[in-house]
Amino acid sequence: MSITVETHCPYCALDCGLKLQVDQGRVTGSTKWKGSPLSRGGLCTKGITAWQQVHHEDRVRTPLVRWDGRLRPATWDEALDAAANGFLKLRDRYGPAVNAVLGGGSLTNEKAYLLGKLARLGLKTPHIDPNGRLCMTSAGAAAMQAFGVDRAMTPLEHLPAADVVVVVGANLPDAFPLIMPLVTRARRRGTKFVVVDPRGSKLVKDDDIHLAVRPGTDTALAAGLLREIAVLGGVDWPFVLERTTGADDAIAATEGWDLERTSLTAGVGITEIARAASWIAGARNGMILHARGVEQQVNGVQGVLSWINIALARGWAGRKGCGVMPMTGQRNGQGGREHGQRCDQLPGYRSIDDPADRAVVAERWGVTPEELPGRGRTYVELLHDAERGAVKGMLVMSANPAVSGPNGARIRRCLDAVEHMVVVDPFMSETARYASVVLPGNTFAEEDGTITTTEGRVVRIDQAVPPIAIRSDLDVIRGLAHRLGVRDKFDFHTGREVFEELKALSAGGIADYSGMDWDALRDKGGVFWPATRDNPDGTEILHTERFGHPDGLARMVPVVPSGPSTLPDADHPLVLTTGRHRDHYLSGNQTRRIPAQADRASAPILEVHPRTAAVMRLVEGEPVEVTSHQATITLRWAPNNRLRRDTVFVAWHWEGVNDLTDDALDPISRIAAVKHTPVAIRPAVTTVGPSVPALRGEAVGA
């Protein structure tokens, strides 16, 4: 008998709803779920074909253990024993900090919560961090500094209520296609759009202002805009004086950034900057949507803070059609950083450095605060630590740093240096090549739990079919916990059971889920946190009366404009910036296996302005060689006249592309500066395609 199961797309953090069609234990298709929050049944190409990953022939169907240099099939008990024993041997020999955990932003809230608990109570290591460190931490760090809360201020459905929308470093049509109907509604209402991006996209229309900023100069552009807004009398001083601190210093930091200097530094025309400032200064309601373009920089936190300063100066907070919206790329990048999967956080968005927060979590977990490890190292740092021998054991769950890590050749050396690596993934990823043990993971259709959208809306996902490899990811975590000696603290069999502990523990934290009800999450179409026991319906709009700091005031933080760590030079005169392709998701471990998605985009394509291509003597249809300080790879190329002439672009969903990128880190967020890499290009004389590392041993039975 056929049934349909309501759930949510496994890709970006818009988390569009869909209905899976199930017949005799198999997912056979999907249909629109018109009652789903935000998208109301709409899906992009990825969402339409997402169901095809569930029973894909490439699924890892049995555990694999490396014997004699080859990954070979094993029983679940053999594989879990090998996984846990490897970590225990390393811990006994070198201490607990020699083991590390890398998680994924696609994990449900429940799995992210248990993974953090497993790291700290089972492995007893401080080292756990999610791959969201590669994309969202600059936004989170800036929001916590400015607002005391890391969550979008208002639902996306309020976008049409804005008089002006500023989109900074976010290609909405490719990365978040289902936001485009809201953009269309906003345009019909008369909303103006300012788009800050070195590369034009389908978002930009003739009536918009496109500030094609020079990569790495976002803070300079924002400084010039804030200075001009102040000159125009656009600072909302009643709001600023009543609800913020630091405004005088923040505005003073923009001294000297007049229109001419800003134009020269950012590579944007004076007229365009002046018009944008005038639009922003004259808009009562405004929203700023920012994403990786401004965040993946060595000054990513400062970049986000500089745009937050503009929003606060205009009083854009606490009401419909106003606010700052970080656009999260992974389906649960928001929730994944709220419940203890980060090296500096405990569940409920509590700080691991705060004695009071540590005491709350320790008491509820039944341990002493002293038993909780302290702050650990961050994602890229942990990989680099493996290269120097400080990390020898690594548990990787739903992450693929072999493709997504910056300076990819170095990342692969780091993975190769890990003595004992356990990978949990539905597919044999590029990272799994380096594993000692591969444990089959679940797809989105094989689990229940909750995820949190980029808006801060907690929604429920329901299991449609049993796990193809028998055990769920919760079973895997429980099995590892049992072998690590803490089974009594992990006696969970369903996502709902974990959710009950998670929400109870979150009570009183910044990300408070304590008032949420499992059944109501489905009935209400999701609930915005904070949702306390006194306010179970949640909080759609934040900061209506107070910000998250103890005094209730937002902070305007002075930002002195700075640039990238590595500048173009005679040998590397262009800047490479990377991003997403509409038809693929992150490392492509899922979407590149789906024929319809692979056919639409089968390989990375370097985009080059036609005049730049002419100067470099590139021939259309012939490959191009791209050289950075880190590597040289060969790619196909295509002209794009909506790109800055000093900038080239490539989507990064394929192995080898990130070999080019810089691994310099923001000093606060520790995010990698992959949006700015000096490169040279020339006609290629070699075969097209990034280099592929040799395997440590072929997988058998994968």
How many angstroms separate the CA atoms of 254 and 166, rounded? 20
Q: What confidence tens digit (pLDDT) does each residue in 213-252 have?
A: 999 999 999 999 999 999 999 999 999 999 999 999 999 9
Q: What confidence tens digit (pLDDT) does each residue in 616-653 have?
A: 999 999 999 999 999 999 999 999 999 999 999 999 99
Q: How far apart are the first and last CA of the chain?
A: 31
Mean pLDDT of 205-212: 96
pLDDT at 185 over 60: yes
Q: What confidence tens digit (pLDDT) does each residue in 82-106 have?
A: 999 999 999 999 999 999 999 999 9
Bridge partners (DSSP) of residue 245 are: 555
pLDDT at 694 over 60: no
Percent with pLDDT over 70 in the chain:
98
501: nearest Cα among 485, 484, 518: 518
pLDDT at 696 over 80: no
Q: Return the half-sphere exposure (C-beta side, CA atoms, 13 A cut-off) of residue 127.
A: 26
User: Residue 699: its pLDDT value, please?
Assistant: 35
* E-only strand ranges, 207-285: 209-211, 244-245
Mean pLDDT of 515-540: 95
pLDDT at 329 over 90: no
pLDDT at 125 over 80: yes
Mean pLDDT of 567-592: 95
User: Residue 1: its pLDDT value, please?
Assistant: 72
Bridge partners (DSSP) of residue 554 are: 244
- The 10 Å Cβ neighbour count of residue 535 is 13
Mean pLDDT of 197-205: 94
Whole-structure pTM value: 0.95
- The 10 Å Cβ neighbour count of residue 615 is 12
Q: What is the DSSP string of 226-242?
A: HHHHHHTT---HHHHHH
User: Residue 136: its pLDDT value, please?
Assistant: 85
303: nearest Cα among 447, 149, 142: 142
The owner of tokens 């846990």 is 84
Q: What confidence tens digit (pLDDT) does each residue in 277-322 have?
A: 999 999 999 999 999 999 999 999 999 999 999 999 999 999 999 9
Q: What confidence tens digit (pLDDT) does each residue in 473-526 have?
A: 999 999 999 999 999 999 999 999 999 999 999 999 999 999 999 999 998 999
Mean pLDDT of 336-361: 96
Stretch (H or E) spanning 168:
strand 164-168
Mean pLDDT of 401-424: 97
Structural domains in the chain plus CATH codes: 2-53 (2.20.25.90), 64-133+341-491 (3.40.50.740), 137-327 (3.40.228.10), 574-683 (2.40.40.20)
